[in-house]
Amino acid sequence: MNTKPNILLVDDDELYLYLMEKTIHQLSKELVVSTFTDGEQAVEYIAECTKQNLDLPEVIFLDINMPFLDGWGFLNEFKKLKPKIINNINIYMVSSSMRNSDIKRASNFEELTGYVVKPVNKVQLAEIFKKIYQQNW
Amino acid sequence: MWKRVLKMFIGLYVPLFALNLFLYYSQKAKQIETIMERQIRANTMKKVSFEEECHSFLRNSHYWATLKYPKNFDPLIEHSSFLRSYLELIEDITFYDQFRFIDLEGKEFFRAERVENDSIKISVLQNKNHQPYVKAGLQLKRNQIYLSQISLNKENGEIEKPHKPVIRTVAPIFDNEQNQLGLVVINFKMKKILDQIKSIVEDKNVYLLDEDFRVISSNTIKEDLPYESGNKNSTIDGILNTKAITHNRDSAFVENGHIWSQQSINLNGATFTFGSISNLPTEIVTPSSWIMALEIPSKLVEAELQPVFESLLTFNIISIIGLFVFSHTYQKKKLEKEHFYKELESKNILLTRSKEQLEENNIEVKKINNSLEIRNKQLSDFNYLISHNLRSPVTSMSVVVEMIRKEKNPEILNQLLPKLDQVANSITNLTKDINEYVSILDNKEIKLSNINLTDLIEEVKHEFTETLLDDSDFEVLLKLDDWNQITFSKFYLQSILQNFVSNAIKYKREEVDSYILFESAIEDNHKVLYVRDNGIGLNLNRHGDNVFKLYKRFHRNISGKGMGLFLIKSQLEALNATISIDSEEGVGTTFKIKF
């Protein structure tokens, strides 16, 4: 495993970010986690990576409700960037919302791999990682 | 109703009545004409029969005048035998009253008088030389016969009683040597003839008048020759304006409703041939001229016209009844029709009104529906707020607590514990914000008042020091021409205005002179307030959905909680107002509030 950040957390809740990072590290110390507190920063980062041909994260945990650019906004921007992206990026919508409208809206984005309801516990994370890192896990 | 019936009835009846009148009068004129014709015929008959009587007298006289008398004719002694056979003849001719011969001195030399109906007696001779008929007779030429006036017989200067109307004929007589012997004078009895004249035809009055319009005989007066016997009703003056009756012409005329017909009988100068045609014609000399007049009294004329009048009256009565019934029925129908139309109209109005009411209700329902939708949206938003914003710190907390429970490393525990503080803080802040929102949502009785927008903006403006400085680069502009008074919650509106001004100051562009402009307008009968600024603006493509949502912020370098526009929208919607946004990055933002 290289040291490039392979997990991206995008959420305005800093406590959540702290806890997620902690949980992920409990699962594997090898995973590199980066965080952004809003969608705008995350989009800028991905755009920068694409531009400079840097490696992109394999998993993004995306919150819906964020200032400046929310989860939906991020997805829209991501769509525009996608043709330039070679790697497969797994994006998980993570929200405390259990609203049907949100879930339905999420299903319309083919960029999304899944929809996870907060709180995300260790078991759920393990399953997600198992799917993604099958060979390496 | 009755007024209209009457009006229509009169309208129909008056022309009919006029036609009736015309018919009546033309009928009357025709009738009168017919009556006149009949009357003229009757009158002519009377005249002719009277004239025939006169002719018969004249023929008798002519007979006596053409006899060849002996020379020195002495009928009493010498020639009594000559006369006897003639007298026997006279005896049977009952209208001979007296038969006399008068000599050229005016003295009678023969006088025979009728004593009984069928006997004649020779009586005492009288001197008649003072009598006008004798005087006139002595002037006569051969072949002339004198016809006297009709008068009452007088004997020795006294009117004979009982009255005896007579007419005299006088003719000269000659001996066989053509020497005039004297005159033959015959008195003819007129009573029978006058009675015949008086005999009434169809209830008409008959008058035989003399040349002075004195009544000789009339069925209206018992006596004949009333003026001679001293009767006052002797002239026709009392009955008729005598100017209407003239000797000159035969005529028929109407006076005071009486129909008159007059025919004059004037024999003076007329010539006749008596006996064989070879005889010389005889000329009549007479001072008399008569008028035969027939009168139909107005009563009679009216009676004649009665059937016409009656039939017209009947027709009129039937017409009146018929027209009245027709008018009444027609007007009744018309009134019913009008009533029906009126009812229809009022029903129509009612329908229109109920339609309007329905439309109004519809609008009201739409309004309510709208506000319910808004309410629903608000509740949904609220739900989201709770489920998302509140849930995330709570779940985070449970995760922290779980970690703390499992964690034995005191160093990590020391890291974790302050996190709980953080959660508690965020929950407290959140509950505060939610509380504010709930208070808006839940405020059922918002105190409304009439607000002067100019004053309120001025008030709000003063809360911001940026606007107060003289050399300030931020201006609050007003353009409240269309309206500046509104009924709203003063508390909300103040808060809304504060948020707008605060945002406009916060997001102003540094390179320009910034302003916020409040502009009022009326659109679709609604008061509209435009809030424009020339600030940094917003990319609506990116953020359009989220502009009015809680905790949404769009400018990283400018501090803010993300509550201002959320509260503005909530407060407006609580009072059924709506807000929309139009914005361009680097140009400015316009909010449109529709009250």
Domain boundaries, chain B: 29-296, 443-594
Between chains, do B419 and A18 touch, taking CB under 8 Å as contact?
Answer: yes
CA distance B198 to B221: 10
A2: amino acid identity, one letter: N
* B385, B396, B547, best to mutate vs chain A, most A CBs in 10 Å: B396
How many structural domains comprise chain A?
Answer: 1
* pLDDT surpassing 80 at residue B278: no
Q: What is the pLDDT of residue B296?
A: 85
A60: amino acid identity, one letter: I
Confirm whether A35 is domain-assigned: yes
Place of tokens 């709000």: B460
Confirm whether A11 is domain-assigned: yes
A70 touches chain B (CB under 8 A): yes
Query: Which tens digits make up the pLDDT trace of A51-72?
Result: 888 888 888 999 888 888 888 8
Confidence at B551, pLDDT banded by 50, 70, 90: confident
Confidence at B471, pLDDT banded by 50, 70, 90: low
Write down the H helix ranges in chain A.
Answer: 14-27, 39-51, 71-81, 100-107, 122-132
B540 touches chain A (CB under 8 A): no
Query: In CATH, which superfamily holds the domain spanning B443-594?
Result: Histidine kinase-like ATPase, C-terminal domain (3.30.565.10)
Measured CA to CA in angstroms, residue A110 lies from A61, A92, A125, B87, B230 at distances of 15, 11, 21, 175, 156
Region B434-438: mean pLDDT is 82
B427 touches chain A (CB under 8 A): no
B130: amino acid identity, one letter: H
DSSP summary character for residue A126? H
Which among B39, B50, B41 has a CA at the least distance from the CA of B204?
Answer: B39
Instruction: Write out chain B residues lying below 8 Å of A22, CB-based.
Output: 403
> At a CB cut-off of 8 Å and minimum separation 6, what does B425 contact?
none
B393 touches chain A (CB under 8 A): yes
Query: In CATH, which superfamily holds the domain spanning B29-296?
Result: PAS domain (3.30.450.20)
Confirm whether A30 is domain-assigned: yes
Distance between B386 CA and the closest CA of chain A, angstroms:
9
CB-nearest to A15 from B389, B423, B555 is B423
pLDDT above 70: percentage of residues in chain B: 96
Query: Which tens digits make up the pLDDT trace of A76-93?
Result: 888 888 888 877 888 999
* A10, A19, A41, A66, best to mutate vs chain B, most B CBs in 10 Å: A19
CB-nearest to B542 from A15, A69, A97 is A69
B585 touches chain A (CB under 8 A): no
Query: Which tens digits make up the pLDDT trace of B180-237?
Result: 999 999 999 998 888 888 887 667 888 888 888 888 888 888 888 878 877 766 676 6
- Separation of CA B411 from chain center: 120
Between chains, do A118 and B391 touch, taking CB under 8 Å as contact?
Answer: yes
Q: From the CB of residue B380, how many other CB atoms can be counted at a distance below 10 Å?
A: 12
Between chains, do B388 and A95 touch, taking CB under 8 Å as contact?
Answer: yes
Write down the H helix ranges in B66-131.
Answer: 80-92
Region B381-403: mean pLDDT is 79
A18 touches chain B (CB under 8 A): yes
Between chains, do A19 and B398 touch, taking CB under 8 Å as contact?
Answer: no
Q: For residues B549-560, b (16+ Cβ closer than 10 Å) or e, as one string?
A: bbbbbbeeeeeb
A50 touches chain B (CB under 8 A): no
CA distance B60 to B55: 8
Q: Which domain holds residue A65?
A: 7-132
Q: For the purposes of burial, counting CB atoms within 10 Å of the CB of A1, is it exposed (0-12), middle (13-18) or buried (19 or more)?
A: exposed
Place of tokens 């907390």: B397
- Separation of CA B540 from chain center: 80
For residue A29, give the CATH number of its domain. Answer: 3.40.50.2300
CA distance B175 to B367: 151
Q: What is the pLDDT of residue A2?
A: 43
Query: Which tens digits make up the pLDDT trace of B28-80?
Result: 888 888 888 888 888 898 899 999 999 999 989 998 988 888 888 888 888 88
Among chain A residues, the shortest Cα distance to B563 is held by: A67
**Positive or negative, the Cα torsion across B224, B229, B232, B237?**
positive
Confirm whether A77 is domain-assigned: yes
